[in-house]
Amino acid sequence: MSSRPITLRSLIPAVFLPALIFETGMGALAPVLALSGRALGASVGAAGLVLALLGVGQILGDVPAGALAARLGDRKAMLVAAGVAMVTLTGCALATRVWQLAVAVTATGATNAVFVLARQSYLTEVVPTGLRARALSTLGGMSRIGAFVGPFIGAAVLTGRPLRDIYWLALLCTAVTVVVLLVVPDVAEPADATRGGAAPASVRTVVYRHRKVFLTLGLAVLLVGSVRATRQTVLPLWAEHLGLSPSSTSVVFGLAGLVDTLTFYPSGKVMDRAGRLWIAVPSMLVLGLTQATLPLTHGHASLTAVALLMGFGNGIGSGILMTLGADVAPPQTRAQFLGAWRLCADSGSAGGPLVVSAAAALGSLAAGIAVMGGMGIVAAGALLRWVPRYSEFATTGTRRHGKSTLVATAGSWPPRDSDSSNAVRGPNVQD
């Protein structure tokens, strides 16, 4: 391994490139899953469920992903996940019944959970804390870029071709990811890769040991996940309510996605320099207020303006949940902790859109959107309350206090919950 300082540029070949390739394949799937279900004879509701199962699979895979990464190591866990994904994507392509497609899609979502968690765990371990937010925001940015670019590549592939070819495209992306992982070495060896001895602690044990974190900051993370996921539901639904054509809705959604994609690096830099709260709280306030404002829009122009602001609010929050998880994860049981942490975020992502859907079914889409807007304000307050308690990187003030406490207590930071944070590393890193 290289002894040179770790920089964002040095992380591109081994971390960001495989993440981008893998997420591009996953991004290409999303617009086609429901259509695949319909092609196999599913009703509209069942076809929508097929799409939702990708997220359900990710939720089901979060906790096992932590256990797998702890047992095998991050890189081996990713290779296993990619190998299984190639099998499940083949199953998607060859499915002749809706239930076969549903099972394969769910399993594919679970492999995505393993892949994302393993990279997050690796970056948390090897990247200096002064570069942590930028590294994890960039990792989150790879997912956003993949989700933005993947559908366009998929559209090009599907021109005049059957729907199942999208799964072969995703499989190709996964195979290329495997090649990159095998050929390109990591920039540094995780410290726990050289630890021997006891078997990893169970996820249940880790969750119980850090239950105060999950019942407080974990709840805030769940709220953040719900508000962020809801925006993808409310925009097209409200656009349809206003009578916009599908093509106009796609343009609005695409522009919001472009703003979202362009803002991940600046937000990481602010989090590294000024503290996590300077991004976490504004992100939730902007998302909450724009969602609450959405029912007040009455035409294409006003909807586009709100959508762009929504994209900005979500974009600046890129990587914030991964960064907070990295801040509070205990070093000895990091992967297991992060698996439960991601379960909080992904459960919120699944629950938020359900609130809006339930409200729409009861006859008041605007009320559901307004409720989730208010949830964004609540999430901002929860972050403001709990992030400084558990992360020394909440603000520059908590960072100074954390360092002084670390010196005074010989490494027992944070004083409120000594086993819920990583040791401080030097902040002198390069961009």
Last residue of some domain: 190, 223, 257? 190
Q: Is residue 195 part of a domain?
A: no
Q: CA dihedral defined by 7, 13, 19, 21, rounded to 10 degrees?
A: 150
Of the given ranges (10-24, 400-414, 416-430), which has the lowest mean pLDDT? Answer: 416-430
Q: Give the pLDDT confidence score for residue 175 in this predicted structure.
A: 95
Q: Is residue 196 part of a domain?
A: no
With contact defined as beta carbons under 8 Å apart, do 113 and 342 qualify? yes
- My answer on whether 310 and 359 are in the same domain is yes
Q: How confident is the model at residue 191 (pLDDT cuts 50, 70, 90)?
A: low
What's the CATH number where 37 sits? 1.20.1250.20
- My answer on whether 313 and 180 are in the same domain is no
Checking phi first, is residue 118 left (phi over 0); if not, alpha (psi -120 to 50) or beta? alpha
- My answer on whether 80 and 220 are in the same domain is no
**Which pLDDT tens digit goes with each residue over 217-256?**
999 999 999 999 888 888 888 888 888 887 788 788 888 8
- My answer on whether 289 and 374 are in the same domain is yes
- My answer on whether 279 and 181 are in the same domain is no
Q: Give the pLDDT confidence score for residue 200 in this predicted structure.
A: 74
For the chain, percent of residues with pLDDT exceeding 90: 49
Of the given ranges (279-288, 374-383, 416-425), which has the lowest mean pLDDT? Answer: 416-425
- Which residue in 431, 427, 316, 295 sits closest to 380, CA to CA? 316
The predicted model gives 349-367 an average pLDDT of 82
**Domain coverage including residue 113:** 1-190
Q: Is residue 48 part of a domain?
A: yes
Q: Give the pLDDT confidence score for residue 411 in this predicted structure.
A: 38
**Which pLDDT tens digit goes with each residue over 141-185?**
998 898 888 888 888 888 888 888 999 999 999 999 999 999 998
pLDDT at 425 over 50: no
Q: Give the pLDDT confidence score for residue 233 in this predicted structure.
A: 80
Q: How confident is the model at residue 350 (pLDDT cuts 50, 70, 90)?
A: confident
Q: How confident is the model at residue 190 (pLDDT cuts 50, 70, 90)?
A: low
Q: How confident is the model at residue 199 (pLDDT cuts 50, 70, 90)?
A: low
How many structural domains comprise the chain?
2
Of the given ranges (202-211, 243-252, 277-286, 371-380), which has the lowest mean pLDDT? Answer: 243-252
Q: Give the pLDDT confidence score for residue 3 in this predicted structure.
A: 54
**Which pLDDT tens digit goes with each residue over 299-328?**
989 999 999 999 999 999 989 999 999 999
Q: Give the pLDDT confidence score for residue 229 in this predicted structure.
A: 87
User: Could you tell me how many helices (H) and strands (E) the chain has, helices first?
Assistant: 17, 0
DSSP letter string over 207-219? HHHTHHHHHHHHH
- My answer on whether 126 and 231 are in the same domain is no
pLDDT at 198 over 60: no
For the chain, percent of residues with pLDDT exceeding 70: 88
pLDDT at 342 over 90: yes
Type of residue at 89: L
Can you state the angle between helices 277-293 and 300-316, rounded to 10 degrees? 160
Q: Is residue 312 part of a domain?
A: yes
Radius of gyration of the chain (CA): 21
- My answer on whether 92 and 226 are in the same domain is no
Q: Is residue 10 part of a domain?
A: yes
